[in-house]
Amino acid sequence: MAEPSHFDVAILGGGPGGMAAAMSAATRGMRVVLVDGGNFLGYGLQGAFKSKALWEAARDWLSARVIAGILPPTV
């Protein structure tokens, strides 16, 4: 059984608002958990863009931030 974890903030939804809230809390030193039902974070952006190229650019930008460690490892 996994050890229980402590988080200061729980964010439900990995769309643009959830990502922004998680990043804001993390930059303030809070331990954050981000819960989303999709396969990857930022999925809510898909409906916001008419252009596939713009959607892919936004997805890649969000992925690069995660890879660069901008989000906390608990997200």
> What SS3 state is found at 10?
strand
Interval 51-70 mean pLDDT:
75
Query: According to the model, what pLDDT value does residue 49 have?
Result: 56
Q: Which residue has the higher pLDDT, 30 or 47?
A: 30
Within-domain flag for 4: no
Q: Is the pTM of this model over 0.75?
A: no
* Average of per-residue pLDDT values in the chain: 75
Within-domain flag for 37: yes
Within-domain flag for 74: no
Residue 40 has pLDDT above 70, yes or no: no
The tally of domains found in the chain comes to 1
Query: According to the model, what pLDDT value does residue 75 have?
Result: 46
Within-domain flag for 25: yes
Within-domain flag for 54: yes
Within-domain flag for 27: yes
Within-domain flag for 3: no
Within-domain flag for 43: yes
Q: Which domain holds residue 33?
A: 9-67
